Amino acid sequence: MDKKELLENRKELVKVDFSNLHGNWQNSADIFMDYSDESAKVTMRLDKLRERMSIREADLDMWIRTDPDKYGISKITDSAIKAQVIADNDCQQYRDEIIELTYESNILKGAVKSHEKRSKSMEWITQLWIKNYFAVRGPHLDKDMLQKSIDNNIEKKYVEDLEDSDLRRKLTS
């Protein structure tokens, strides 16, 4: 999966389908690997960008100390140099990109953690299934009845949410 698809579908990819636990387990490692890979790529881009910014700041510092008049500085002080570095367009662009990449990195790291939680949830759901927690009739799981029960509970929750006046107000405004 590409990064765009991972970011757009991250909420769907962490859901557990009770009626398809084996499918959940089969794709779990692949999804986890995709998120981990993308997170590592973004972190690497972020590290490289920070390195470029550090080089730019060091170059500016050297240039300002070499020819302060060119930068409108009459007396060389650390705060005067810092002000010039902050005002530099390239440094500002680097800072903006760092903010964007940090946000993206945090989203991907959150997705990795969410997927870890999904795996743990699947472990518990599997244990409950093994112990016949979801059994509808007798000691065996009736998958059709379970799916209907899940669907009914989802529909019931949806109707309850629609009846909530705050939600209704949000939908009508």
Least Cα distance to 129 among 20, 31, 14, 28 occurs for 20
Per-residue model confidence (pLDDT) at position 115? 81
Range from 71-75, 85-89, 152-156 carrying the lowest mean pLDDT: 152-156
Averaged pLDDT score across all residues of the chain: 80
Per-residue model confidence (pLDDT) at position 124? 84
Mean pLDDT, rounded, for 46-58: 97
String of b and e for 114-124 (b: at least 16 CB within 10 Å)?
ebeebbeebee
Range from 12-26, 58-72, 83-97 carrying the lowest mean pLDDT: 12-26
63 pLDDT more than 90? yes
Per-residue model confidence (pLDDT) at position 135? 67
Per-residue model confidence (pLDDT) at position 147? 63
Mean pLDDT, rounded, for 24-30: 81
Model confidence pLDDT, tens digit, residues 101-132? 999 999 888 888 888 888 888 888 888 878 87
Per-residue model confidence (pLDDT) at position 34? 86
Q: What are phi and psi of 135, to 5 degrees?
A: -65, 130
Per-residue model confidence (pLDDT) at position 161? 53
Per-residue model confidence (pLDDT) at position 107? 87
Separation in Å, CA 42 to CA 14, 45, 109:
21, 5, 10
Q: Which amino acid is at 8?
A: E
Least Cα distance to 78 among 86, 90, 70 occurs for 86
